[in-house]
Structure 1
């Protein structure tokens, strides 16, 4: 389950963030996600987390049943309305039917690859350029296993200085 859940969790967090990047203030952001997958995921030991870091993954913290991750959103990302690695193409996913009205946005996610098949829906809203909330629902298969997930995401801007936190693309595994 853990092997399948982590890519889906990262994809859902990034999908919500990527579509809305045009309204995000550049700087350090804290992203929080609660999901059905988190409830069923076995707890990882510090050794397992360290092993994932050695494999090049920027491993988020788990707090109160939610995944919490700090990312850096650069000015270039906000101007281009995209976050690196957030398009889902590596997993065979495409974002379609993107709509934005005022502070609200929505998009469909369609996945059709050997790794993932199915459809999802992202809906969210912004509170200015320093906070957002969104939901992501996905039904399909991942690595041949049925997936029916609901995710609740939120983000809040922390500061203009990212410190040593890498830009958002650093969440994805290194190749």
Structure 2
């Protein structure tokens, strides 16, 4: 079974890095569903098919391995990543940022409970914008549109997701260290 692509991981964590509004510290689950890319949809469906076809012991081992990294794949290819927000990060409105792919994220505007941001990654070259709508300090919904180039052809993808606070204790999930300035 192939692991989720670096692009998917980048997009999930780039979305996590932008939702700094007023956020409760602790363990968060960020779930995203990609769309607009038939090749990615096919790869996610194949991954789910392979996981379902595994013997129960092997499937349990694979799910445990993904879980140790705070990741799971749900129905319809929705990917959930758990992230840890430290009290210091929450106090500074700083959230985990992507350390792979040489990504930057910028907040464009904050109005009421809505935040708009944009991001750019160099590896793979990807840009996008997203809108985050907060429901207090323990939940948000997001919609993103991203552009990338794959095999020399431009692609546009969408991502819809949600984040929810799980607990004040991050357990085994370690905070992602911000990139060095």
Q: Fold conserved (TM > 0.5)?
A: yes
Q: Secondary structure at the match of 2:5?
A: helix
Q: 2:126 & 2:42 partners in 1: Cα distance? A: 20
Post-superposition CA distance 1:57-99 (Å, at most 9, x none)? 8262111121123222211121232234x1x464233223521
Q: 1:69 & 1:117 partners in 2: Cα distance? A: 22
Q: CA RMSD in A?
A: 3.1
Q: Could you list the runs of 5+ residues in structure 2 that have no partner in the other structure?
A: none
**Larger Rg belongs to:** 2
What displacement does 1:145 show? Answer: 6.0
Q: 1:11 & 1:149 partners in 2: Cα distance? A: 13
Q: 1:21 & 1:143 partners in 2: Cα distance? A: 34
TM-score w.r.t. structure 1 length? Answer: 0.74
Q: Could you list the runs of 5+ residues in structure 1 that have no partner in the other structure?
A: 171-175
- 1:30-109 pair list within 5 angstroms: 30-36=29-35, 39-41=41-43, 42-43=46-47, 44-45=50-51, 50=62, 53=65, 58=69, 60-65=71-76, 66-84=78-96, 86=97, 88=98, 90-96=100-106, 98-109=108-119
Q: 1:155 & 1:8 partners in 2: Cα distance? A: 19
Q: 1:144 & 1:102 partners in 2: Cα distance? A: 40
Q: Contact 2:22 / 2:137 at 8 angstroms: preserved in 1? A: yes
Q: How many residues align?
A: 161
Post-superposition CA distance 1:145-174 (Å, at most 9, x none)? 643211112011122222x3313428xxxx
Q: 2:107 & 2:71 partners in 1: Cα distance? A: 30
